[in-house]
């Protein structure tokens, strides 16, 4: 099975930008309308997590993923994941807090949100603006050798 990371998160949380970083490409910013299979990722529309009746589609899509990445936006820590949501997946679930350069007072709230959703630590804290934490996340997901070859 090709190793693809499924990225889930609310609108405006930085999913598409993170997808571009994980795929080592810089595409135009766009609103994801449908599931997009990239080289290393599966980009899911924010509507799939923002509407509970769509959860079944996320669970089904995860069957083709190696990992599920739940994204939280530190600048807008909207509670979108129901309690224990991570336990719905039979793949490893990774918690990522994006936009750590904004609203540092929300850091603890974001970690609590991931914990309530059933995501185990470690949580990756990243900023796509200045790339803080991105290398550690890529190393964790793809292995140190693969990301160091591209650096």
Quick check: is 109 in a domain?
yes
Give pLDDT tens digits for 95-132: 999 999 999 999 999 999 999 999 999 999 999 999 99
pLDDT number for residue 29:
60
Find out whether 26 and 20 touch, Cβ atoms under 8 Å: yes
58-63: Cβ within 8 A, 24+ apart: 58/6, 58/8, 58/88, 59/88, 59/89, 61/6, 61/35, 62/6, 62/89, 62/90, 62/91, 63/90
Q: Is residue 151 part of a domain?
A: no
**Structural domain containing residue 90:** 5-146
Cα separations (Å) of 18 from 52, 69, 82, 116, 128? 24, 11, 23, 23, 7
CATH number of the structural domain spanning residue 17: 3.40.50.300
């Amino acid at each position: 099975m090709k190793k693809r990371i499924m990225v889930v998160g609310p609108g405006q949380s930085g999913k598409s930008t993170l997808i571009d970083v994980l795929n080592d490409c810089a595409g135009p910013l766009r609103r994801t309308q449908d599931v997009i299979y990239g080289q290393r990722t599966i980009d899911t529309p924010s509507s799939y997590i923002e509407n509970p009746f769509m959860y079944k589609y996320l669970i089904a899509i995860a069957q083709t993923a190696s990992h599920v990445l739940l994204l939280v936006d530190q600048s807008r820590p909207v509670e979108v994941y129901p309690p224990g949501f991570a336990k719905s997946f039979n793949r490893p679930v990774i918690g990522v807090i994006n936009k750590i350069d904004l609203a540092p007072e929300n850091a603890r709230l974001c970690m609590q949100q991931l914990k309530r959703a059933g995501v185990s630590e470690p949580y990756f804290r990243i900023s796509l603006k200045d790339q803080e934490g991105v290398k550690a996340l890529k190393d964790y997901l793809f292995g140190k050798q693969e990301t160091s070859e591209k650096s």
